Each structure stands twice: as C-alpha cells, then as structure tokens.
Structure 1
Amino acid sequence: MDQSGTSSLLKDAVRDLATGVASALRSGGHGQVSGDAPALAAADGLAPAAVRVLGADFLLPHTLLGTRPTPTELTLFRQAVEAYPPRADSAPAVLWSHWAMTRTLSRLTPPGPGSTTDSETTTAPEPGADWLDAADWRALTHQLAVLAPLAVPGEENAVSRAARGRPVDVARGFVRAVRRRDWTQAAGAGRWLTVIEGVPDTLGLDAGLDFVELMAGGDPQIDLQVRAARLMLLGALV
C-alpha cells in the first residue's frame, strides 16, 4: 500500500479510537475505548500506531473514572509504548508524550502474582521542561495543547507545574485559539484550564467549551478533549 493510503487508514484508525474514548467518557468509563482496534491490529498493524497518536488519552476514561482497562486495551497500549519509543533527538513534546504513556501504563497495569507493588511497569524519569519556562504565552498554549493528555487531576510533573504557574497566559491562549478558530488548540488549552487554579472568572470557560464543541463539527479528537474537560470541571471523578 502506498504512503498516502497508509496515512489515510491511520487517520481513520485514530478517529475510530478517539470516538471510542469519547463514548467511554460519556458513558462513565464503562464502554470499550478501543472500538475496532483489535480488528485493525490484525488486519493492518495500524492500531498500535493509532494508539500512539492518542497517547495516554487512549486510557483516559479509566484514569479519570477509576475503571479497569480490559486485557485487550492494556495489551494494545503496551504494544504502542514498546513499538514507538522516542529517539534521542526527539522533540520535548514527543519525550513527554511517551513519558505520559509509560506513567499511565504503570498506574493501570494490575500487579502480577506475588507482586507487592502497584505495577510491574516502571515509569522513566521525567524529561526536562525548561523550554516551557522560556516560552511566551502563545508558544506555551500551543505546547500545552499538544500535551493535553498530561492534563489530569492530581498529576504532579514539570509540565503541570508550568501550566499551574501561568493560568492567565493559558486563558489568554485559549481565547486566542477560539478567535483563530483553532479548535484543536482551544480544546487542549480548555482542558488544562480545568486542572489549574487562578483562571480568571471572566473567561467563561463553560460557554467557551460549548462553543468549541459546536464549531468543531463532530471531530472525535476534539470531542474527547471537551468531554474530558467537562468531567474535570464538574469534578465528576472517583
């Protein structure tokens, strides 16, 4: 299959997985997040690549709602982690995305027989985040939107600390993304704004998220972000 055909199939696989995750968030974490991923994996080997695109958000319903991933979901997630390790020269966002996946895998993998730890999977040390400290508010918002899978309650790492330290800048970036009709960035920034304090009351985040969802036209990856943001905004978590 040519490269363009493979790219199209991968995009379809990512959309399918994102739809499954958004549906599971809507149903309280009781739906299967993987959609048709097992069939895709058997046919084309695209499912692990699609999971890598979603990153830690593939298991987000289980992270937020305290449900347990199925063995199939965990196997697929682990395959994505192992099949696509970052290169030494990878961009910081890629390093952080992979780190978030290993952390999620560690948290959600049940302990093996005789294990006394929460998981037999270990999380690698955090990558550096100095580049975020030096970023202006536009670049900060862009990078945080890319790293939206790290925006979960109670997460303590250098990226979340950078976001918590600049709530006004993130709010400003959210407004700019909405005005520019960059719905992907707006959804990611909006998600971060639900897990940091000091967000200006005048922002109108609830209405902003409604507008982003409406204008995004049913894009499942944006739907995933908005649904996650609403859950966290409402505190409807275990």
Structure 2
Amino acid sequence: MEQSGTSALLQGAVQDLSSDVVSVLRGGGHVQLSGGAVDGPEAGLAAAAVRVLGADLLLPHVLTRTPPLPDTLDAFRRTVEAFPPRSDAAPAVVWSHWAMRRTLHRFDQGEQRTEPGADWLGAATWQSLTHQLAVLAPLALPGEDCAVTRAAQHRPVDVARGFVRAVRRRDWLQAAGAGRWLTLLDGVPDTLGLESGLDFVELMGGSDPRVALQLEAARAMRWSGALV
C-alpha cells in the first residue's frame, strides 16, 4: 500500500509539472520550480518528478530561446547531477539523462557528455521503435541532431505505422510522443493525416497533462519551424 501511495504521489507530481509546462507553452512566461524543491521536505518526490519529465521541463525556453528562471534552472541542474544513470541502466534511461545534460549545457554551459550509441534502435521492430521514440520524445526538437534523431529520420513510415497502432490501442501518451516526432520527419505518408490524428489524440487523451505536453510541443514545433 505504501508503494502504491508513493506511485500515486509521483504520478500527481509529474502531472502537475506537465500542466505547468503546457501552460507556459500555450501562454508564454517561465516554468517555475523553486530551487528548494529538490532539498525541501518533499525533495525525493520533486526530484523524481523532474527526472520523469526530463528535458521537457525546460522545453518552452528551448523553443523560444529564453532563459529559465534561476531557481528552476538550479533545481534542474541539481537533479541532473544527483541522479546519473547506473552502469546497467536501459538505453532509454541513458539517453533521457543525456538529453537533460544537453539542455543544461544550452543554458548553463554544463558539461556535455559524449553521445550514447543508438544501434539498438536501428535493429528495433517498428512497434518497439515507436515505443522507444515516444519515451524519448524530449529529444524531438527542431534543428537538433543526435543518433536517436537520425534513427527516426531513417524510418518515417515505421513511426507513422506506430502512431496509428498507438491510436488504435488508445495509448494516447505513445501516440502523442510519436506524433511529436512525426512533425519533424520528412517522408511521412500524406495518407496518415497527421494533423487530424493529433486533433483526435487531443480529443480522446488530452485531459492527461503528459499527453497535452507532447501535443503542444508538436504544434509549437510545427508552427514555428526550426527555431532552435
């Protein structure tokens, strides 16, 4: 029961953070996160929520090239430095941490580590590829290049198939993440109807702030082009 309660608290914290980011993406301003959030009475929960959201915590500032508030950047930095991936971490965990470090480097000139390998994505089935890309949606940014981005660029039809599959399975979070990638990829089939697909995902799953975040990111990138 205690573990279940902790999971519910973490889910709530992630949703709250996601809602804040969505609000800034829609209306402008700054993502606000107190620097004391990672060393106060709920430090573990706050840091875990930042780790789950990853680099997307600062997405509005990446897209608009505006500096985050000092307290927010400090909380982000301390989370990155306090929780490096373990030596046996899954590739997606390693890449998520690398994405956070890349974002930190953008605003704070923090150390940028060597890019991890992504050969595992090249050999992935289209179902697995879509799942992994959805998990790594914070890497989907206009004008950015990395091994994960290149893997996605080589397989737009597979990502489109994965998007349709996620919609049919009512996996709205995966569909939104895949849709975010598709907004950046060349060679996406016109028959996919991506814009209508994203509208449908919003209608069905947009009440989840995590889904809304991915959809707002996709639209912001679609409208603005390569701002980064």
> Structure 1: how far apart are the matches of 2:193 and 2:35?
37
Shift of 1:3: 2.8
Q: Does 1:58 align with 2:57?
A: yes
Shift of 1:33: 4.4
> Structure 1: how far apart are the matches of 2:39 and 2:213?
22
Contact preservation (8 Å) 2:140, 2:149: yes
Contact preservation (8 Å) 1:52, 1:80: yes
For residues 18-45 of structure 1, what are the alpha-carbon distances to aligned partners after superposition, in whole Å with 9 as ceiling and x for unaligned? 00001110013x14343x8856852311
Shift of 1:7: 2.1
Q: Which residue of 2 aligns with 1:22?
A: 22
Contact preservation (8 Å) 2:37, 2:47: no
Shift of 1:138: 0.7
> Structure 2: how far apart are the matches of 1:133 and 1:39?
39
For residues 149-200 of structure 1, what are the alpha-carbon distances to aligned partners after superposition, in whole Å with 9 as ceiling and x for unaligned? 0000011110000000111111111011101111011000000001111111
Q: Which residue of 2 aligns with 1:43?
A: 41
Give the structure-2-normalised TM-score: 0.94
Q: Which residue of 1 aligns with 2:190?
A: 201
C-alpha RMSD over aligned residues: 1.8
Q: Which residue of 2 aligns with 1:76?
A: 75
Contact preservation (8 Å) 1:33, 1:59: no
Q: Which residue of 1 aligns with 2:107?
A: 108
- Correspondence list, 1:98-177, <5 A: 98-109=97-108, 119=109, 121-177=110-166
Q: Which residue of 2 aligns with 1:91?
A: 90
Which runs of 5 or more structure 1 residues have no equivalent in the other structure?
110-118
Shift of 1:12: 1.3
Q: Which amino acid aligns with 1:188?
A: G
Q: Which residue of 2 aligns with 1:185?
A: 174
Q: Which residue of 1 aligns with 2:5?
A: 5
After superposition, the Cα gap between the structure-2 partners of 1:41 and 1:5, relative to the gap in structure 1 and judged at 3 Å, is farther
> Structure 2: how far apart are the matches of 1:152 and 1:230?
12
Contact preservation (8 Å) 2:55, 2:138: yes
In the TM superposition, structure 1's runs of 4+ consecutive aligned residues that sit over 3 Å from their partners are 36-41
Q: Which residue of 2 aligns with 1:114?
A: none
Which protein, 1 or 2, shows the higher relative CO under an 8 Å CA cutoff with sep ≥ 6? Answer: 2
> Structure 2: how far apart are the matches of 1:71 and 1:155?
24
Q: Which amino acid aligns with 2:71?
A: T
- Correspondence list, 1:218-229, <5 A: 218-229=207-218
Contact preservation (8 Å) 1:37, 1:47: no
Give the structure-1-normalised TM-score: 0.90
Q: Which amino acid aligns with 2:162?
A: G
Q: Which amino acid aligns with 1:24?
A: V
Higher helix share: 2
> How many residues get paired?
226
> Structure 2: how far apart are the matches of 1:236 and 1:60?
15
